Amino acid sequence: MNASLLAQPLYPISGFVVGVLVGMTGVGGGSLMTPLLILLFNIHPVAAVGTDLLYAAATKTGGSLIHGLARTIDWKIVGRLAAGSIPATAICLIVLSRFDLGGGAAHALITTALGISLYLTALVLIFRRRILASYAARFGDLSPARTTSLTILVGAVLGVLVSISSVGAGAMGVTALILLYPKLPAARIVGTDIAHAVPLTLVGGMGYWMLGSVDWHLLGSLLIGSIPGIVVGSYLATRVPEPVLRVVLSATLIVVATRLLI
């Protein structure tokens, strides 16, 4: 039997597992789904990133609706982030269009960027408290103008990382917002980060679609599993110790990143 036919039932199962982990940890699905598609299902890295970006746009739209109804989104901050991330994403997509996306150069670029992004995400998860404490001790409160400019810069960095690797909008985005807006309630930090991820991943995903690097059948199969998975994960989130989750997830990301880069 064709290997691709054998793998098809595993797509919604994978979507469910990733959905559970996202619901439990809040870490973006790109940190988990894209490496899974590349390493387990042998999907080309470019197609994996493009498909995962639209997968993230769909799943985070639901999260944004919930946060919007709860009024836990700061739309002014979303606008600042998008002012940096959308142009950066567009520039990255233009650069990628110059590559042979089916060739070795694109494969190497995506896997290297993905591996580095996973390492960064793992480090942020492990050392988040130390990063926050060190930042507060050294910089304290920033002026409104400085905060605005740095928010746009953070958006641009996230745009580059997400458009090349589909990773970065979760743990790194939330940490950056905590650093820049320490007085903002945690619920609004998370809601704002999720809301910003929607246009970012949607623009990136549509760009990959225009480049012919989205597998729509795969996308649908992943969403079938991920939607109930996120519900289950959200339920379990309050029942599993957060430090345990953070350590296990960080170790997993480090192992996966090492596997991608070696």
Tokens at residue 76, please?
A: 């002014």
166 φ/ψ angles, rounded to the nearest 5 degrees: 70, 10
Domain membership flag for residue 77: yes
The DSSP result for 28-75, as a single string, is -THHHHHHHHHHTS---HHHHHHHHHHHHHHHHHHHHHHHHHTT---H
Domain membership flag for residue 1: no
Q: What is the pLDDT of residues 110-134, one digit of tens each?
A: 888 888 888 888 888 888 788 878 8
pLDDT of residue 94: 92
Between CA 96 and CA 216 the distance in angstroms is 20
Q: What is the pLDDT of residues 192-228, one digit of tens each?
A: 888 898 999 999 999 999 998 898 988 998 889 888 8
For the chain, what is the domain count? 1
Between CA 122 and CA 57 the distance in angstroms is 22
At residue 80, does pLDDT exceed 60? yes
pLDDT of residue 150: 93
Tokens at residue 11, please?
A: 């797509």
Domain membership flag for residue 2: no
* Residue 111 structural domain: 31-261
Domain membership flag for residue 26: no
Domain membership flag for residue 14: no
Domain membership flag for residue 74: yes
Domain membership flag for residue 12: no
Which pLDDT band, with edges at 50, 70 and 90, does 153 fall under? very high
- At 81, the amino acid letter reads L
Q: 19 with 179: CB under 8 angstroms?
A: no
Between CA 109 and CA 22 the distance in angstroms is 26
Domain membership flag for residue 229: yes
When pLDDT is averaged across residues 58-77 and rounded to a whole number, the result is 86
